Chain A
């Protein structure tokens, strides 16, 4: 049996109160619930405060370039589908510089868990507006107020054919952990967008603010995450932000389609040179 300490490498040094503590804890809880060996888990992170997660979390890790978590994680998953691959990004990573990769990975339905920690600001670069920053917000890059309208990751994922779309709140760790756990079990890409306060650069979207502005879809009478129309309705709700498992669908995963009936993962193939077989292939050039 695993315990949270099985995945604990170092105590984080994020700002006191940062939403990432809740994410860190929820991810450990989900791993404990699924009893994953740290060796079987790969955490792929992008650039931003969330990227430090690899230093604190004990598992195989890949801390790559800004915005490129999805292609790296896809390469890992296809080469060894038995691995549990969790990609973690920030809002800048997933919804700005890596938006193309995000949508195409959703479209591919590759078997990854994609955790997007959305704090509505670029924190590591000291406070610029992000793609989820509210219109009109004054930041160091938008002293006259942001002139860009924010975009919504889960809505984009639904439009792109996403098969598991959830939103959590880093102030509700147990709930978040259960979403991550379900996402890890999902066949295909599971998006878990996380509302996560930045206590240093975003004084508006605080824990209290989120508590007042979220609602849980599971509390809606008759809500079913299998109903796409209901999912849209929840996502475009003008008053409050929908939290919970918003949409879920069965669809073959990319690895099932690309690697049907494989005896061995690519990672453990024998690369012995098959002289006869290659010779037959070469005969076509004679």
Chain B
């Protein structure tokens, strides 16, 4: 019985690879399978190679596997590019003239089929665009999927927007592909998937989960500048925020985006911005202002490959230290790093509460993989969402106040907040060093007190922060430390190591700053071989650990700075090598 399967759709940008992959992912999810997708796209609208992998499993999965069981290629180039990943008994469908066969020693056991998707689409349905749906029909046959589920997805997608005729034509094209696949494949090639109940689950990307988390948490103002791969957060929210009474504003640049977020927050909104790459560097300026003027703000940063414009459609974890140590001057900030789509939702809700409670900027740091790829997760439970606005007063609480101090020196360093228009709450949000009322003050003693007030605000925050999550065997000698979207590959690698009798465990950091030093120290003390797994060149997390836990012993880095996410093998191999 098949328990785990990966299908890759490959072609050129403009071939509909994204559409095909998205529909397949939804279809397999409706069959009750756990889904992880991964897309590898160029920063170009048409003409260059792209591929989309859908992994489906009966067990809970978080990342891709090392192999592809079925490759559906809209051109032959993709076969040569992905041959090493194709499983020993894998099946390849390829459109295109002159199917270029690789040398026989590389293709043993694998089955190759010429499948003239474009020609068939033109002949049968008059338009080449139906090749994608024919392909989906063919995959449905190969995986023995329930055709009515695919029909249902077409209805959802097209009935309202394009009408019955379009739905009917798509259903027909899928049927055609189904029958065509039956003709050209042998019965033994089928990979029948069992159907499971699809209970209370969703298929969602990290960007969408952050958007939904923001909406649930009461975010009602969103300002941003277009940038890959963060724009989906905004483009998702823009459909909902106005209906919830809020506003979404496109700004002239990221300087404006964060400054506008701060203005909105100062006036009372739960406000947010999102960015990536160079946009984050522009936000560094106002990041410091949020710290100094103690204005709550949530910044979602979906990391892409740098430096500079880098590779806008490739994932990376190269912006960690920028948010932790970046900008001018010293001020408190919180940096959260969700490792699953479920955590994208939970940590976003948490980010708004933390920002309000500690009156400081909060960064949700994810990566392109996490932001744009889809994963199944248990449906979010909105009844558990709490909105905590911290020390924000109300007009009623200010009645009778004669001496309101916005930056009052309190025991916990956190001061009461009033909003413009509230009587007796007049104050200045000040980027200069200021006194308790917010007015400029250069007195040395005041400076010392204000610095201590701000810098100690987070001293007591740890019960509110997201603690690290420990995965795997308690007593294992091999320990991994990582954060964010490498979680999937790390958990797969741990499973592969377990099969090889190398038990391991994994400390997943979910709050990167304030640094969870006690938990990390304990984990380091309990493991013999520590591997810090990061999708960057210089090992930013390892650098952070060394700076915060001293002495910390030897940390081995497993780094990937290629354009593709970690494969489990890339983590397993260095571990096995180190134990030889």
User: A: which residues have CB within 8 A of B?
Assistant: 38-40, 42, 44, 52, 54-55, 58-65, 68, 70-76, 78-80, 82-83, 100-101, 104, 258-259, 262-264, 266-269, 271-275, 278-279, 281-282, 285-286
**CB-CB < 8 A to A101: which residues of B?**
252, 255-256
Q: From A258, which residue of chain B is reached at the shortest CB distance? A: B247
**CB-CB < 8 A to B389: which residues of A?**
271
Q: From A277, which residue of chain B is reached at the shortest CB distance? A: B244
Partner of A79, one of B216, B256, B267, B382: B267
Complex Cα–Cα for A259 and B221 (A): 12
Q: B148 at the A/B interface (Cβ < 8 Å)?
A: no
Chain A: minimal CB distance from B373 (Å) = 14
Q: Is the CB of B259 within 8 A of A72?
A: yes
Complex Cα–Cα for A42 and B223 (A): 20
Q: B383 at the A/B interface (Cβ < 8 Å)?
A: yes
Q: Is the CB of B268 within 8 A of A70?
A: no
**CB-CB < 8 A to A76: which residues of B?**
263-264, 266-267, 420
Given contact pairs A104-B256, A267-B269, A286-B202, A72 touches B427 in the complex (Cβ within 8 A): no
18 CB contacts below 8 A, A to B, read A38-B426, A40-B421, A52-B440, A60-B421, A61-B429, A61-B430, A62-B266, A64-B289, A64-B429, A72-B266, A74-B249, A76-B266, A266-B267, A267-B420, A269-B220, A271-B218, A282-B202, A285-B203
Q: From A40, which residue of chain B is reached at the shortest CB distance? A: B421
Q: Is the CB of A269 within 8 A of B289?
A: no
Q: Is the CB of A266 within 8 A of B382?
A: no
**CB-CB < 8 A to A72: which residues of B?**
259-260, 262-263, 266
Q: Is the CB of B245 within 8 A of A39?
A: no
Q: Is the CB of B387 within 8 A of A71?
A: no
Q: Is the CB of A78 within 8 A of B249?
A: yes
Q: B246 at the A/B interface (Cβ < 8 Å)?
A: yes
**CB-CB < 8 A to A68: which residues of B?**
255-256, 259, 285-286
Complex Cα–Cα for A104 and B379 (A): 41
Q: Is the CB of A267 within 8 A of B202?
A: no
Most chain A CB inside 10 Å of its own CB: which residue of B261, B266, B267: B267
Given contact pairs A75-B263, A285-B203, A258 touches B256 in the complex (Cβ within 8 A): no
Chain A: minimal CB distance from B31 (Å) = 13
Q: Is the CB of B264 within 8 A of A59?
A: no
Given contact pairs A282-B202, A285-B204, A83 touches B420 in the complex (Cβ within 8 A): yes
Chain A: minimal CB distance from B159 (Å) = 14
**CB-CB < 8 A to B420: which residues of A?**
39-40, 42, 60, 76, 80, 83, 267
Q: Is the CB of A267 within 8 A of B263?
A: no
Q: Is the CB of B428 within 8 A of A275?
A: no
Complex Cα–Cα for A274 and B426 (A): 32
Given contact pairs A75-B221, A267-B269, A281-B215, A80 touches B427 in the complex (Cβ within 8 A): no
Q: Is the CB of B268 within 8 A of A74?
A: no
**CB-CB < 8 A to A75: which residues of B?**
221, 223, 259-267, 269, 271
**CB-CB < 8 A to B257: which residues of A?**
71
Q: From A255, which residue of chain B is reached at the shortest CB distance? A: B247
Chain B residues within 8 Å of chain A by Cβ, number:
66
**CB-CB < 8 A to A269: which residues of B?**
218, 220, 244-246
**CB-CB < 8 A to B466: which residues of A?**
none
Given contact pairs A59-B426, A269-B246, A271-B270, A74 touches B260 in the complex (Cβ within 8 A): yes
Q: Is the CB of B422 within 8 A of A39?
A: yes
Q: Is the CB of B431 within 8 A of A64?
A: yes
Q: Number of contacts between A and B (CB, 8 Å)?
A: 193
- B173-201 vs A, CB cutoff 8 Å, 1 = contact: the mask equals 00000000000000000000000001001
Complex Cα–Cα for A275 and B428 (A): 37
Q: Is the CB of A282 within 8 A of B263?
A: no
Given contact pairs A63-B431, A266-B245, A79 touches B269 in the complex (Cβ within 8 A): yes
- B261-294 vs A, CB cutoff 8 Å, 1 = contact: the mask equals 1111111111100000000000001100100010
Q: Is the CB of B216 within 8 A of A273?
A: yes
**CB-CB < 8 A to A274: which residues of B?**
382
Given contact pairs A71-B251, A100-B252, A258-B247, A65 touches B289 in the complex (Cβ within 8 A): yes
Complex Cα–Cα for A44 and B425 (A): 16
**CB-CB < 8 A to B252: which residues of A?**
100-101, 104
Q: B83 at the A/B interface (Cβ < 8 Å)?
A: no
Given contact pairs A271-B387, A286-B379, A70 touches B285 in the complex (Cβ within 8 A): no
Chain B: minimal CB distance from A178 (Å) = 26
Q: From A70, which residue of chain B is reached at the shortest CB distance? A: B256
**CB-CB < 8 A to B269: which residues of A?**
75, 79, 266-267
Partner of A262, one of B245, B263, B265, B425: B245
Complex Cα–Cα for A83 and B267 (A): 10
Q: From B223, which residue of chain A is reached at the shortest CB distance? A: A75
Q: From B419, which residue of chain A is reached at the shortest CB distance? A: A267
Q: Is the CB of A74 within 8 A of B419?
A: no
Q: B253 at the A/B interface (Cβ < 8 Å)?
A: yes
Complex Cα–Cα for A170 and B271 (A): 37
Given contact pairs A60-B420, A75-B263, A79-B264, A278 touches B428 in the complex (Cβ within 8 A): no
Q: Is the CB of A273 within 8 A of B385?
A: yes
**CB-CB < 8 A to B216: which residues of A?**
273, 278
Q: Is the CB of B426 within 8 A of A278?
A: no
**CB-CB < 8 A to A38: which residues of B?**
426
- B238-254 vs A, CB cutoff 8 Å, 1 = contact: the mask equals 00100011110101110
Q: Is the CB of A58 within 8 A of B267?
A: no
**CB-CB < 8 A to A264: which residues of B?**
245
Q: From A102, which residue of chain B is reached at the shortest CB distance? A: B252
Complex Cα–Cα for A273 and B388 (A): 12
Q: B208 at the A/B interface (Cβ < 8 Å)?
A: yes
Q: Is the CB of B382 within 8 A of A273?
A: yes
Complex Cα–Cα for A70 and B427 (A): 19
- B347-390 vs A, CB cutoff 8 Å, 1 = contact: the mask equals 00000000000000000000000000000000110110111010
Complex Cα–Cα for A91 and B461 (A): 43
- B425-450 vs A, CB cutoff 8 Å, 1 = contact: the mask equals 11111111000001110000000000
Given contact pairs A79-B269, A282-B202, A71 touches B428 in the complex (Cβ within 8 A): no
Chain A: minimal CB distance from B285 (Å) = 6
Q: Is the CB of B263 within 8 A of A74?
A: yes
Chain A: minimal CB distance from B420 (Å) = 4
Q: B212 at the A/B interface (Cβ < 8 Å)?
A: yes
Q: B114 at the A/B interface (Cβ < 8 Å)?
A: no
Complex Cα–Cα for A274 and B385 (A): 10
**CB-CB < 8 A to B439: which residues of A?**
54-55
Given contact pairs A83-B420, A101-B252, A279-B382, A44 touches B247 in the complex (Cβ within 8 A): no
Complex Cα–Cα for A55 and B435 (A): 11
Most chain B CB inside 10 Å of its own CB: which residue of A83, A281, A285: A285
**CB-CB < 8 A to A281: which residues of B?**
212, 215, 240
Most chain A CB inside 10 Å of its own CB: which residue of B251, B259, B426, B430: B259
Complex Cα–Cα for A274 and B383 (A): 9
Chain A: minimal CB distance from B4 (Å) = 23
Q: From A281, which residue of chain B is reached at the shortest CB distance? A: B240
Complex Cα–Cα for A39 and B267 (A): 12
Complex Cα–Cα for A140 and B266 (A): 38
Q: What 5 A-B pairs come out closest when comparing CB atoms?
A: A75-B263, A271-B218, A267-B268, A75-B264, A285-B202
- B56-76 vs A, CB cutoff 8 Å, 1 = contact: the mask equals 000000000000000000000
